[in-house]
Amino acid sequence: MTEDILRRILKHVESIDRKATKIMTTVDEVQAALTTLTSDLETLAATATAEFAKLEAEVAAGTPPNLEPLKAAVEAIDSKVKAAVIPTT
């Protein structure tokens, strides 16, 4: 009787362990994705900041500003954010 109870408890503990391992794997994947996304966004933000500085210089010089590089930087940021996939299983 006691042996049967212990076997059932062990089965439940093993099941909990497998589920916890899957959860930790998912957590690690989410952390890696967020780290990558953070790095990408920091790089893109620096690019956008540089483009704003160029625009300011163009406006100050009286040159018609070229908005294409800024548009590209914003689109790149938008693309990275939309591409961020967080595992849900």
> Which residue range(s) make up the domain with 10?
2-83
- Asked whether residue 24 is assigned to any structural domain, the reply reads yes
pTM for this predicted structure: 0.58
For residue 52, which amino acid is it?
F
- Asked whether residue 88 is assigned to any structural domain, the reply reads no
For residue 88, the model assigns a pLDDT of 62
Per-10-residue mean pLDDT, the chain, length 89: 90 94 89 86 85 88 86 82 68
For residue 55, the model assigns a pLDDT of 86
For residue 72, the model assigns a pLDDT of 85
Give the count of domains, the chain.
Answer: 1
- Asked whether residue 89 is assigned to any structural domain, the reply reads no
For residue 6, the model assigns a pLDDT of 93
The DSSP output letter for 88 is -
- Asked whether residue 11 is assigned to any structural domain, the reply reads yes
- Asked whether residue 31 is assigned to any structural domain, the reply reads yes
The DSSP output letter for 62 is T
